[in-house]
Amino acid sequence: MNISALQSFHVIKQFRSMVIICFLGIVLLSVLGSVSFLSAAENGKMAMKDSVKAPAIEHPMMKPKMYSKEMRCPNCGMMINMWARTRHSFKHPEGDFTTCSIRCMADKAASSGAGPTDVHVAVYLDPDKMVSVEKAFYVVGSSAAGTMTMKSKIAFADKMAAEKFASSYGGQVVDFEGAYSAATMELPKSRMLIDQKRKKTGKIKEPTEEDACVVCGMYPARYPKHNCQIWTADGATLHFCSTQCMVNFNAQPGKYMKEPVKTKMAWVTLFSDGMYESTLGPYYVVGSKVDGPMGKEALPFKVKKNAEEFVDINGGEIVSFPQLTPDIIMK
């Protein structure tokens, strides 16, 4: 190859290298620009969300009046009157109920296999008033505090009021079916998040190896499928190795504690999936051939159908927590 040809070859090679470098530079700038744009967009969304302040109302209400004769939510055990702004009343094959929220009503339906009828909901900004859900409109996902839910779902007496609220506090206006569907869809994830939050805040405390059952003295940590606990009004936690021991305690608390005990919340470990649940929500199987740490046991199930299937195989009958007595468990 002569010198002229060699020089031409190097010129062409340098030119190609410059073209490639310029092309890569353009691509890099485009990517960085896109990232910057996306970051700006996300920051913009966060700024918009942060700029929407929650309404200046009290929820839960620390000193509520008597909005409902039903004191505790039959699903989660929380005080209905404290959470009166989101309460729902309805008819159900198992009875007439008032829950603290649309979420707990949806959870009751999912657990029992039967939906609610004749449903009424409290007006969020005027909890003295309850309206049929057929006439109500919900704001889902606003900055307002909800109840037992990942996204707040609050009700208004008419669409105009809901839209006015959403314009100030964000969220989407939907009818009852839309809100109920959203509450049902989030149940699996919300159960896990609620369980985690209860443990993080100390409402539920896993028993240590040193924690003894208040009734029998055994160690609940050794029986993870059966342990129960009571969270008292003064912040203490009473551990039990089994539902049998918890029911015995509830029947005669003075026999096991010198000072009176005021229960704030009570939890059982579900036999069906090992998660903690309020004592009020599950379906209990008594009289089966499956024993617990103390022998005869009331085995709690989240879903009624699962309890029924268990009874078909192992015998027994299904009762609710208010029906549990030492005699019923031991029979």
CA dihedral of 223, 225, 231, 237, whole degrees rounded to 10 = 20
The percentage of the chain sitting over the pLDDT mark of 90, rounded to a whole number, equals 80
pLDDT in tens, 203-230: 999 999 999 999 999 999 999 999 999 9
Q: Of 12 and 230, which is predicted with more confidence?
A: 230
Q: Which pLDDT score, from 0 to 100, does residue 150 have?
A: 82
Q: Which pLDDT score, from 0 to 100, does residue 173 have?
A: 98
Q: Which pLDDT score, from 0 to 100, does residue 68 have?
A: 92
Tell which residue, 314, 265, 304, 267, has the closest CA to residue 284.
304
pLDDT higher than threshold 90 for residue 14: no
pLDDT higher than threshold 60 for residue 267: yes
pLDDT higher than threshold 60 for residue 29: no
Amino acid at 329: I
Q: Which residues contact 319 (CB under 8 A, 6 or more apart)?
A: 283, 284, 286, 298, 328
The percentage of the chain sitting over the pLDDT mark of 70, rounded to a whole number, equals 85
pLDDT in tens, 64-110: 999 999 899 999 999 999 999 999 999 999 999 999 999 999 999 99
Residue range 16-31: average pLDDT?
Answer: 43
Longest dimension (CA), the chain: 110
Q: Which pLDDT score, from 0 to 100, does residue 331 have?
A: 86
Predicted TM-score (pTM) of this structure: 0.82
Residue with tokens 């900004």: 125
Buried b vs exposed e over 266-282: b needs ≥16 C-beta within 10 Å? bbbbbbbeeebbbbbbb
Q: Which pLDDT score, from 0 to 100, does residue 51 have?
A: 58
With beta carbons less than 8 A apart as the criterion, state whether 81 and 70 touch: no
Q: Which pLDDT score, from 0 to 100, does residue 8 have?
A: 43
pLDDT higher than threshold 80 for residue 50: no
Tell which residue, 47, 67, 51, has the closest CA to residue 59.
67
Residue range 229-257: average pLDDT?
Answer: 96
Tell which residue, 187, 195, 155, has the closest CA to residue 173.
155
Verify cis geometry, omega within 30 degrees of 0, for the bond prior to 300.
no
Residue range 152-181: average pLDDT?
Answer: 97
pLDDT in tens, 193-206: 999 999 999 999 99
pLDDT higher than threshold 60 for residue 177: yes
Considering only 1-15, 66-80, 151-165, which range has the smallest mean pLDDT? Answer: 1-15
pLDDT higher than threshold 70 for residue 16: no
For residue 3, list its beta bridge partners: none
Q: Which pLDDT score, from 0 to 100, does residue 44 have?
A: 41
pLDDT in tens, 283-314: 999 999 999 999 999 999 999 999 999 999 99
- Residue 74, Cβ neighbours under 10 Å: how many? 23
Q: Of 216 and 29, which is predicted with more confidence?
A: 216
